Chain A
Amino acid sequence: MELKISKTKNLYFALSAALIVAGLIAMVISWITLGAPLRLGLDFTGGTLVQLRFSPKAPAIEAVRPVVEKQLGITNIQQIGDQNIAIRTRSLSTDERTKLQEQLRASLGKFEIERIETVGPTIGQELLTNGLLALGLSLVGILAYLAFRFQFDYAICASIALFHDVLVLLGIFSILGLLFGVEVDTLFVVALLTVVGFSVQDTVVVYDRIRENLKFQSRKKTFPDIVDDSVNQTLVRSINTTVTAQLVLLPLAIFGGETIRLFALALIVGFLSGTYSSIFNASALLIWWRERKTTAPVTAKAQK
């Protein structure tokens, strides 16, 4: 199989653009209906989650609802597995929560408390700010490193590919949030950052090869050809690395606990996008950039 990125690059750009635009639309809809581009979880909005475990079997949600809503108004109640009931509300004080537990115990019988999560509104804001700050800082750090190791235009193209992956991941989770109520939490920010690292890593491997090939073959071949060669030479590696990463992520996504499952899903989406963008976008961007800059036949200078 020989890929000719240089010939078909507009097709790949279009594919990426379509995916990103769909995501952006979802984010806009989400912004209008939910007030944020993604459905923010308790970590960011603040709130309380109480998960109760009944044995042998959880009561029906209809039995739980009146007890909870008498105290708290309309509340999100979910059944998790056979035994667990999760109640999500605004941030409750200790006394409010204790009262809720007492009333539930009085009307539903015995249960164990599996999980309590209370996040005050201020701390939610803090987590969100920190997450965005982390994202920004690591982007700057990576860009600086790339500019130092490669040339400036490589760094620019790699970061465009990077933003592509970030946008794809955000977009898909925005869509998932609209369709299935999937919420993002602190772990999602971690996933986002991991994807950033991985995406650059993937792009760097291809760029490394382009740089190496330029050194040895720049007299014989044009820049687009060298890029095509480099992509093909690293293609099997790109695919295999994605496969091994997916092999460990898939079991996590399928069998992992509730929190880890979405984390793994975010990584799966991000890694797939990362591989796609480094094969099809990052290198194509580099060709496009250099073609734009030089109207004359591309003469690739040997570079260090």
Chain B
Amino acid sequence: MRQRTWLLLLVAVVIVGSILIIATKPTILGLDLQGGSQLTLQAKPSEKVKQVTPEVMKGVAAVVEQRVNGLGVSEALVQLKGSDQVLVQLPGVKDPAQAERLLGDTAQLEFRKEVPGGKFEKTDLGGTDLTNAFPQALQGGQGWEVGIEFTGPGGDKFARITRELAGTGRRLGIFLDNKPISTPTVGVEFVDRGITGGKAVITGRFSAQEASELGIKLKAGALPVPVEVIENRTVSATLGADSVRQSLYTGIAGTILVLLFMIAFYRLPGLVADVALVIYGLTTFAIFKLVPVTLTLPGIAGFILSVGMAVDANVLIFERTKEELRSGKQLFTSVEAGFQRAFSSILDAHVTSLITCAVLFFLGTGLVKGFALTLAIGLLVNLFTAITVSRTFLLTMLNFSNLRKPALFGVTGVPAKAVR
């Protein structure tokens, strides 16, 4: 009796706590629900870097992160995946093609000098000598250029190269990933000292977008190895919102059907199971927010499914209770026996499902992980609500004499011996 009071108190605390968490904490929606792009980049060995080591991958991730920051997407996520992949999540990104172009290029910047005969020869000046790069409007207002700033030694190299070229008519070649983006000549006035000051501009008839993308790429530096976009999953915000609405409606519809079914079939215990189910829903959702679990479409499906499975424990218990009642046992004993005897089945059932969840979680990728996580949390919460909560409620109700009727348990034709 004393213990039951404590349990009721605990349940009350759990309910209030869950409601508070649900009311105050934000729900984190996956990209498929809020809209956005998820890209997987695959690193490939190059002639220079023959093997993609973990260090190389760290370098790739760092550069990708820089570029993503340049995109100005809030709450973007860059993480390593497997031994040679990078996963990039860009919530709310409008133009996935831009992101793909931006992230997929190696962006190896090289300054080359033209030699007699029109060929370009490599120099020691490259992308690593830059400290900054930014788009700026051309002075005439027609088009854009990209301003760059060199490091100290980079500025010296630039001065030396431009001095060599000044006045010769041979061009300076600015190459990005082996493609010339700009090939200016250096005026004769620089023949003495070259272009000093550590600054330069790349003019190449860029559009505003091209200039801004180039700026981001140059500033972030080159990727140590080339990468390829091997996966792109983009969902628009409208489609995401549609999915949220749909899953909300179907979830509510399904839950109401289950609630009605339980009352129709199990009467008083059914009502108790329904209350336990509502508490289950609140607690699970609160835990989702607390962890936090990123809700995806399969994740919601896992949650909805767990509602259906959550009542299974109660069904097991109440069927057992009914059986005990039919065999002529007293109400109180029957209820206790129902809970006790069903426990081993409930435990086995939960463990087998949890094994599946664990496998899915550790092997699966994004969406699958979400499903496994929500289902597993649901199963664990259910062990508490379907057993402890509904047992406490049911036994509390049996304190009221006019509730102590087998008919209320869906059992008829049994002499009412429901006295304690």
Contacts and interface: CB of A to CB of B under 8 A. Distances in A.
B56 to A, nearest CB: 19
B316 interface: yes
B253 A251 contact: yes
B138 to A, nearest CB: 26
Contact of A142 (B255, B307, B352): B352
Interface stretch (B146-154, B201-209, B353-361, B393-401): B353-361
A237 B342 CA distance: 11
A244 B233 contact: no
A28 to B, nearest CB: 29
Interface string A110-140: 0011111111101100010010011001100
A66 interface: no
A57 B52 CA distance: 48
A204 B365 CA distance: 29
Interface stretch (A1-9, A189-197, A217-225, A280-288): A189-197
Contacts of B332: none
Contacts of B104: 94
A208 B251 CA distance: 32
Given A94-B97, A120-B42, A244-B311, A130 B364 contact: yes
A51 B239 CA distance: 10
Interface in A205-242: 205, 208-209, 212, 233-234, 236-237, 240-241
Nearest to B354: A197
A30 interface: no
Nearest to B228: A120
Contacts of A27: none
Contacts of B230: 119-120, 122-123
Interface residues of B, number: 70
B229 A204 contact: no
Given A204-B345, A247-B258, A190 B360 contact: yes
Contacts of B265: 240
Nearest to B304: A248
B238 A94 contact: no
B301 interface: yes
B323 interface: yes
A186 B368 contact: yes
Nearest to B234: A116
Interface in B149-166: none
B25 interface: no
Contacts of B353: 197-198, 201
B344 A208 contact: yes
B53 to A, nearest CB: 20
B363 A137 contact: yes
Interface string B216-235: 00000000000011111111
Interface in B71-124: 96-97, 100-101, 104
B319 interface: yes
A94 B368 contact: no
B239 A245 contact: no
A249 B234 CA distance: 27
Interface in A135-149: 137-138, 141-142, 145-146, 149
B100 A190 contact: no
Contacts of B311: 241, 244
B355 A138 contact: yes
Contact of B254 (A51, A149, A248, A257): A248
Nearest to B348: A204
B360 A201 contact: no
B87 to A, nearest CB: 11
Interface stretch (B128-136, B171-179, B187-195, B241-249): B241-249
Given A120-B42, A134-B359, A243-B261, A248 B255 contact: yes
Contacts of A241: 309, 311-312, 315-316
Given A187-B367, A251-B253, A142 B97 contact: no
B164 to A, nearest CB: 37
B365 A116 contact: no
A260 B232 contact: no
B83 to A, nearest CB: 12
A25 B307 CA distance: 36
A259 interface: yes
A250 B253 CA distance: 10
Contacts of A237: 315-316, 319
Contacts of A196: 356
B341 interface: yes
A134 B269 CA distance: 38
Interface in A73-123: 93-94, 97-98, 101, 112-120, 122-123
B198 interface: no
Contacts of B251: 248, 251
B125 to A, nearest CB: 29
Contacts of B364: 130, 134, 190
Nearest to B266: A240
Given A190-B368, A205-B349, A248-B308, A142 B231 contact: no
Which of A234, A255, A260 is packed against the most chain B CB atoms within 10 Å? Answer: A260
A176 B247 CA distance: 25
A119 B232 CA distance: 7
A3 to B, nearest CB: 16
B242 A249 contact: no
A101 B98 CA distance: 13
A267 interface: yes
B46 interface: no
Contact of B257 (A138, A187, A248): A248
Contact of B235 (A115, A145, A246, A250): A115
A246 B304 CA distance: 11
Interface of A: 51, 53, 93-94, 97-98, 101, 112-120, 122-123, 127, 130, 133-134, 137-138, 141-142, 145-146, 149, 186-187, 189-190, 193-194, 196-198, 200-201, 204-205, 208-209, 212, 233-234, 236-237, 240-241, 243-252, 255-257, 259-260, 263-264, 267
26 contacts: A101-B97, A120-B231, A123-B230, A138-B359, A138-B360, A186-B365, A187-B298, A190-B364, A197-B356, A201-B350, A201-B352, A204-B349, A204-B352, A209-B345, A241-B312, A244-B311, A245-B309, A247-B257, A248-B255, A251-B249, A252-B250, A255-B249, A255-B253, A256-B246, A260-B247, A263-B298
Pick the 3 closest A-B CB pairs, nearest first. Answer: A248-B254, A120-B230, A197-B356
